[in-house]
Amino acid sequence: MSVYLNSEKPEDYLALVDKYDTWLFDCDGVLWRGDSLIDGAKEVLELLRARQKSVLFVTNNATKSRRNYKKKFDALGIEAHVDEVYGSAFAAAVYLSSVIKLSKDKKVYVIGMSGLEEELKDEGISFIGGTDPADHTLLPPQDEIPPDPSVAAVLVGLDTAINYTKLSKAFRYLHSNPECLFLATNEDSTYPSDKGLLPGAGSILAPLKYSLGESRPVTAIGKPNSVMLDCIKAKHDFDPKRTIMVGDRLNTDIQFGKGGGLATLLVLTGIASEKDLKGPTPPIAIPDYVTSSIGDLRVLGEQA
């Protein structure tokens, strides 16, 4: 059962903050929506920092590198440091360099955008595809796509320049080589863009999953996969028992937190609503705490 926090009992928020030293935040739907800050988010982050809490940002958005992401925080006036930002693009690059330990003579075929390429470059991973002009076409493949044993992995993220040639190349590399790894930055079904809700990274991945069939499972690096937490652990020392994950999605954020043995706080400013917790279908993950908005934690300031 979840504990529902509300502003009529401000002492509950104080007790919550005392229990956890490390605060992991999802961003979209928690701190902002598109280009608009959630009311009170900036102030709450400042209050947590003032209490010496570690603040980290954990996002499945793989279209931006950590450096791009930092610019988004700057633009919204939120304090954030590049080493506090964990995106699924970064996690995918670290997975390839540190978990898979991709050999230097191998490369990755990428469906994704420049943010993903930037993280791969930073980790020293060779890749083809991505934003390569040769694959930026609305024509189908003009020649047979030869197998390439040097392509040791196909990595798929949200790519708004997705096309049939990219899908065909990724399909052929995977289909012709059973050893080729099949990776995705994340499987979010939708993407809350500033043009409204649009198909997400999982939708860009779906054609390959469908054409390859169930015998070819994909490893999705982002939340709820534990790879993301392993990445954070490798860089930050924290006690899972004194760490809380704050998010707006049950099937990514809350499941991720629970899988990693962290406490979880659901906010209702994004995807999940009270209906998802109390509706006829049992929720995929039950958060430890629920509050209407991250802004509710502003009561911390009033008690300081």
In three-state form (DSSP H/G/I as H, E/B as E, the rest C), the secondary structure along the chain is: CCEECCCCCHHHHHHHHHHCCEEEECCECCCEECCEECCCHHHHHHHHHHCCCEEEEEECCCCCCHHHHHHHHHHHCCCCCHHHEEEHHHHHHHHHHHHCCCCCCCEEEEECCHHHHHHHHHCCCCEEECCCHHHCCCCCCCCCCCCCCCEEEEEECCCCCCCHHHHHHHHHHHHHCCCCEEEECCCCCEEEECCEEEECHHHHHHHHHHHHCCCCCCEECCCCCCHHHHHHHHHCCCCHHHEEEEECCHHHHHHHHHHCCCEEEEECCCCCCHHHHHCCCCCCCCCCEEECCHHHHHHHHHCC
Q: Which stretch binds its own copies (CB under 8 A): 22-30, 156-164, 220-228, 263-271?
A: 156-164
Q: Which stretch binds its own copies (CB under 8 A): 48-56, 121-129, 198-206, 267-275?
A: 198-206
Q: Mark whether 28 is an active-site residue.
A: yes
Among 10, 199, 240, 259, which residue interacts with its own copies (rule: CB under 8 A)?
199
Rule CB under 8 A: is residue 203 a binding residue for its own copies? Answer: yes
Q: Residue 240 or residue 283: which is nearer to its own copies going by CB?
A: 283
Q: Residue 202 or residue 260: which is nearer to its own copies going by CB?
A: 202
Q: By rule CB under 8 A, what count of residues binds its own copies?
A: 41
Rule CB under 8 A: is residue 196 a binding residue for its own copies? Answer: yes
Rule CB under 8 A: is residue 197 a binding residue for its own copies? Answer: yes
Q: Residue 1 or residue 139: which is nearer to its own copies going by CB?
A: 139
Rule CB under 8 A: is residue 28 a binding residue for its own copies? Answer: no
223 is an annotated ligand-binding site residue? yes
Binding-site residue set for Mg(2+):
26, 28, 248
Q: Which residues here bind its own copies, judged by CB under 8 A?
A: 136-145, 159-164, 167-168, 171-172, 175, 189-190, 193, 195-200, 202-211, 213
Active site residues: 26, 28
